[in-house]
Amino acid sequence: MEKSGLFLTRLKQLRADYSAFFRQLRQVFRQCCCLPGATI
């Protein structure tokens, strides 16, 4: 029981990290797209 609870907490933390990472990535991507002469 204790182990599964710890695992769930770890999973939630991982999901939060991933969402923050993707949000940052999207922000950088948007900035790159706004640059003139961007090849992307």
Dist. CA 32–CA 28, nearest whole Å: 6
- Predicted local distance difference test score (pLDDT) of residue 17: 96
- Predicted local distance difference test score (pLDDT) of residue 6: 93
Q: What length is written for the chain?
A: 40
Residue 33 clears pLDDT 80, i.e. is over it: no
Phi and psi dihedrals of 37, rounded to 5? 80, 20
- What are the residues whose beta carbons fall under 8 Å from the beta carbon of 29, sequence distance 6 or more? 40
* pTM for this predicted structure: 0.55
